[in-house]
Structure 1
């Protein structure tokens, strides 16, 4: 997959500003697209969009296909007629939402608040929806019938069992006894349909945002974790595709072996795929998963790409990753079938960490771009594979990712060695007056890599307190947000100028995009003020 020479910004929608305690798909998302247009960026990368559970990690979702209802915009629900203006003001959490610090998502407050609004929207739909509204909703449910009914039933039962993992439900439901499933569908029909309705709303709101981005020549990049959460509709509804025992507990779980950074490795806990069963079904589950995400985005980064070539298999009852062993993945056969079913595969391979020649061969066999991280480039000598002078074109270069510190936080970390800092400064030749973050942004944009992606925190020059995730921890992650005034004109102009200088966008295209946006704003202003 070759996208041409362009650049973009990494920002998860939860980080958008807005009055409801968490970023959503409403007006601020459209203003962010405008910022991308004005700053010469042609791509917006998001993290996984699925509904999150404990820890709020988008990489541990209840579904590999569903959208996160927390991202639904109350303002757009007002426009659609499913909420009354100001209907949130009598909810108990609203005072805390109003007074909450804009720079963080307070999930404990936000979750009951947002779901209180979504319950109201469902009741309103039941009361007000026209026959054509119901027909559109039913058509959506029919189009998504290969995953939506199982997901909606799973979520309804999760609420019935007060959040317990599905392996602790009634044994007949754990084993998916047909009579038990039908009884649950009948008994909890309203809750199931409500879950489907929220997915319908998500598809509408995300679809409108995607259309707006495309209208302004902005592409969307999604993120696909290779593994799914054990407590998910995917595992519950497709037990035969995973290594599970009779009670649904994983026999083998994912992770990585011991290394220089961890004597016991990492035990992630995701159940491993039964690749033989998947292959026997023509990888149908994976193909449906890929089709679903490619309806949402234009291209997708697959996390832990090396797991397709070989993966670390840890016994399910092991406490650490030490007892694991390498097993072969599906390799080229999997990607050949994907290409046969889907055509050109718009996939970016997350090929970070300890990578073997076999993994690189698999990546290159299908022309998949790999990843380069500048924060990894300066801890060793000139043969470091993350240094830009060694890049080829078919790569994606980042200053850092959601799992790294910000550039400013990294450079000024008290534990950062003077040698590593000096190595960076020697490589740059000189340090610019605009801050170390702009030096690394320049390094990324000027590289030969086709695609350069910058986390918004680095564009803003923010420190370590603005990083998105600390791998290996479960608290205080996925919560960073910015405020509207932080998207300053200076950032727009500096990023646009640098993107033009290094051929990420032509000056003619930049001017045309800005002019189109200005005309649209003028037209909207004239409509709102006809006098």
Structure 2
């Protein structure tokens, strides 16, 4: 079934309280998607963010981002008073997230909500903590210790806590018991709202597509609680770290700095940690995009402490064995493979072996820096793929047209028949909607016709990323109607809507046929009487 969706980070939704959240604006966006004939809402990772504010560098693979908890919904439930968060400084630009303001003000407000949750809904909180204890206990203690250390990174903690010496952990649990309860309460608040939003989306025929980073952060509860899963030295510090080699976009490559997985050790227990991680994500989402899929075939390892990624080397990943173990445990999974970057024949074989759809990015069809060329041109697509104009790591369509090489842009304009009357950004979206790809995803910035100022992320840079937000009133009926018409033209309306429309047409035809037969009977009766 041909479908379409929109990539819109939760943080980018409008809100008076500094950042997009899981509340009314999220439900309104679901309504917009439904009215626009869409089937999928693609999100960026929703975990708690650390230094740099990147959702791909999270304190946990399992926890939710406290900033996404909607304060108005908490007030409606009696867990907050509006005066406890109204009037606080949440930033002075409604088009940008001020993460500093959120860090300074959000947790004081959430403490009041958690206090009421503990006193008024203790049974619900207790049940949540018992259900999620496998990851929640370590995460809450990790965050409590981090707070006690002024937010300092795990790598700077004293050895007893960093190395999880039982006596030191017991002392920390006793000393920080109130903080541990707070962080558990925050997660309960988050997942209560997430569950509500997910149910609302399902009721409106919208699937949520999540995004799972392949790597975890060094400063995370994941590494702290399960150091045996990573390539660490005897002091539990990474020997090598993750990244990408130099390419047309960066002469020095991308130095991500994430710890690397101990794949041989993971194979000994059938990749249990990884399978639990994916299983958990599939409970949250309807579709799961796995970032940096090529890292399962082979991954780029950079010496720890290197200043750039130029001195890295390729090492073999788990390959097909991992995905065979995953399917044996979970069965077929609704996974999308982010198969971008430096691809080799073995990566293509692995993608084919898994049966997962890969990604086609239209900008790469023309951008000479990427080198993908014709592979990403729509006439070479196959149905079993997900087509994009650009992802969160790309410029917007209009931004690309104004900043890319002039020859590349000229080729794109000629190939795609772009013109000002339709809108050049809209023409780029039309190209993937009209393609054979089973699923097409466009960014909300491209739908709104925004330029480079609305770019989500520029890889290999710090500062200014992950900040873009839509302004109130962005999702208009006019935009929804134009999207809906495009979905109708290119056969991407939701299956349920098509079925309902066909049923209505059939009912109308049946009614017309019955009326015609009735008229004929009346006429025949009149003729007989004469």
- Asked if the contact 2:418–2:427 (Cα under 8 Å) also holds between the matched residues in 1, the reply is no
Counterpart of 2:147 (choices 159, 178, 183) is 159
Partner of 1:407: 397
- Asked if the contact 1:167–1:247 (Cα under 8 Å) also holds between the matched residues in 2, the reply is no
Counterpart of 1:442 (choices 423, 430, 435) is 430
- State the 1:324 CA deviation: 2.0
Residue 329 of structure 1 pairs with residue 310 of structure 2: no
- State the 1:149 CA deviation: 0.4
Normalised TM-score (structure 1): 0.91
Partner of 2:66: 69
- State the 1:383 CA deviation: 5.9
- CA 1:10–1:493 in structure 2 vs 1: closer, same or farther (change >3 Å)? same
- State the 1:29 CA deviation: 0.3
Counterpart of 1:214 (choices 202, 213, 216) is 202
* Distance across 1 between alignment mates of 2:100 and 2:255: 27
Unaligned runs of 5+ in 1: 514-531
SS of corresponding position for 2:255: strand
Counterpart of 1:364 (choices 352, 374, 379) is 352
- Asked if the contact 1:241–1:278 (Cα under 8 Å) also holds between the matched residues in 2, the reply is yes
SS of corresponding position for 1:465: helix
- State the 1:511 CA deviation: 9.6
Partner of 1:279: 267
SS of corresponding position for 1:112: helix
Partner of 2:136: 148
- State the 1:476 CA deviation: 0.7
Partner of 1:266: 254
Q: Deviations over 1:105-163 (max 9, x none)?
A: 1111122222121011122223x41xxx2222111111112111000000000000011
Return 211-220 or 275-284, whichever deviates more.
275-284
Show the 5 A alignment for 1:50-449. Answer: 50-89=47-86, 94=88, 96-97=89-90, 100-126=92-118, 128-129=119-120, 133-379=121-367, 384-413=374-403, 416-431=404-419, 433-449=421-437
- Asked if the contact 2:254–2:459 (Cα under 8 Å) also holds between the matched residues in 1, the reply is no
- CA 1:385–1:309 in structure 2 vs 1: closer, same or farther (change >3 Å)? same
SS of corresponding position for 2:465: coil
- Asked if the contact 2:117–2:185 (Cα under 8 Å) also holds between the matched residues in 1, the reply is no
Counterpart of 2:445 (choices 457, 470, 493) is 457
- State the 1:419 CA deviation: 1.9
- Asked if the contact 2:364–2:373 (Cα under 8 Å) also holds between the matched residues in 1, the reply is no
- Asked if the contact 1:229–1:270 (Cα under 8 Å) also holds between the matched residues in 2, the reply is yes
- Asked if the contact 1:74–1:83 (Cα under 8 Å) also holds between the matched residues in 2, the reply is yes
* Distance across 1 between alignment mates of 2:499 and 2:204: 12
- Asked if the contact 1:372–1:397 (Cα under 8 Å) also holds between the matched residues in 2, the reply is yes
Q: Deviations over 1:462-515 (max 9, x none)?
A: 0110111111111011011112212122210111000111011169716959xx
- State the 1:280 CA deviation: 1.1
Q: Deviations over 1:200-251 (max 9, x none)?
A: 1111100100000000110000001101111000011111111112222111
- State the 1:355 CA deviation: 0.3
Return 266-275 or 25-34, whichever deviates more.
266-275
Partner of 2:517: none
- CA 1:404–1:259 in structure 2 vs 1: closer, same or farther (change >3 Å)? closer
* Distance across 2 between alignment mates of 1:219 and 1:469: 24
Partner of 1:509: 497
SS of corresponding position for 2:191: helix
- State the 1:418 CA deviation: 2.8
- State the 1:77 CA deviation: 0.8
SS of corresponding position for 1:23: coil
Partner of 1:525: none
- CA 1:13–1:88 in structure 2 vs 1: closer, same or farther (change >3 Å)? same
Normalised TM-score (structure 2): 0.91
Counterpart of 1:5 (choices 2, 24, 32) is 2
Residue 24 of structure 1 pairs with residue 21 of structure 2: yes
Aligned residues: 499
* Distance across 1 between alignment mates of 2:138 and 2:289: 26
SS of corresponding position for 2:134: coil
- CA 1:322–1:20 in structure 2 vs 1: closer, same or farther (change >3 Å)? same
* Distance across 1 between alignment mates of 2:59 and 2:312: 26
- State the 1:366 CA deviation: 1.4
- Asked if the contact 1:225–1:303 (Cα under 8 Å) also holds between the matched residues in 2, the reply is yes
* Distance across 2 between alignment mates of 1:503 and 1:479: 34
* Distance across 1 between alignment mates of 2:310 and 2:53: 27
SS of corresponding position for 2:59: coil
Return 241-250 or 225-234, whichever deviates more.
241-250
- CA 1:49–1:430 in structure 2 vs 1: closer, same or farther (change >3 Å)? closer
- CA 1:318–1:18 in structure 2 vs 1: closer, same or farther (change >3 Å)? closer
